[in-house]
């Protein structure tokens, strides 16, 4: 529960960024209790957030979840089929749409098992080398630039 509360605080810090500060450029939220997020907002108003957490066995940070907040309404639910692509190379994922602490419904992909941890780690590596990231989920589709993602992710892998 404390972890969810911290992620919600990180979300609020993104919402409180100055207008336009995150539009089409990656920003890193202020670190809180070892956690931070790399965030970008598309021209459509949709946002993509990569949530980083301290790795238990090293000084590195681990990518814990990817959160997509599309513009418009989305219904909550699990088992949501989604497709992500980096520079046109598509990968299907199963995500969940949920609302945290009265905020907007967000579409999440979290590390819940070893396959998900590996998928997020591979995704972070691809994003560092790529030019664009596209996500299609729950009837929404947005493309985000990847210039600056490496600096925003920092040690997060």
Q: What is the DSSP letter of 112?
A: -
Residues 6 or more apart whose Cβ sits within 8 Å of residue 151: 26, 28
pLDDT at 121: 86
pLDDT at 3: 52
Structure tokens at 47: 């946002």
Overall average pLDDT of the 22-50 stretch: 87
Fold that domain 2-14+44-72+79-153 belongs to in CATH:
Immunoglobulin-like (2.60.40)
**Which DSSP category does 37 fall into?**
E
- pLDDT at position 156 is 85
How far apart are the two ends of the chain, measured CA to CA in Å?
A: 24
Where residue 9 falls among pLDDT bands split at 50, 70, 90?
Answer: very low
98, 104, 125 from 101: Cα distances, Å:
10, 9, 31
Q: Are 70 and 62 in contact (CB under 8 A)?
A: no
- What are the sequence ranges of the domains in the chain? 2-14+44-72+79-153
The mean pLDDT of 51-66, rounded to a whole number, is 85
């Amino acid at each position: 529960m404390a972890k969810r509360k911290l992620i919600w605080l990180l979300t609020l810090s993104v919402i409180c960024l100055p207008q336009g500060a995150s539009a089409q450029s990656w920003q890193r939220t202020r670190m809180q209790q070892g956690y931070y997020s790399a965030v970008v907002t598309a021209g459509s108003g949709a946002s993509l957030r990569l949530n980083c957490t301290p790795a238990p066995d090293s000084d590195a940070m681990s990518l814990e979840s990817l959160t997509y907040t599309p513009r418009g309404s989305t219904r909550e639910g699990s088992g949501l089929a989604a497709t992500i692509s980096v520079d046109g190379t598509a990968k299907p994922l199963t995500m969940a749409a949920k609302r945290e602490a009265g905020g907007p419904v967000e579409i999440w992909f979290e590390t819940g098992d070893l396959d998900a941890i590996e998928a997020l780690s591979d995704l972070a590596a691809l994003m560092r080398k790529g030019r664009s990231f596209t996500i299609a989920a729950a009837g929404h589709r947005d493309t985000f630039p990847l210039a600056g993602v490496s600096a925003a992710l920092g040690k997060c892998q």
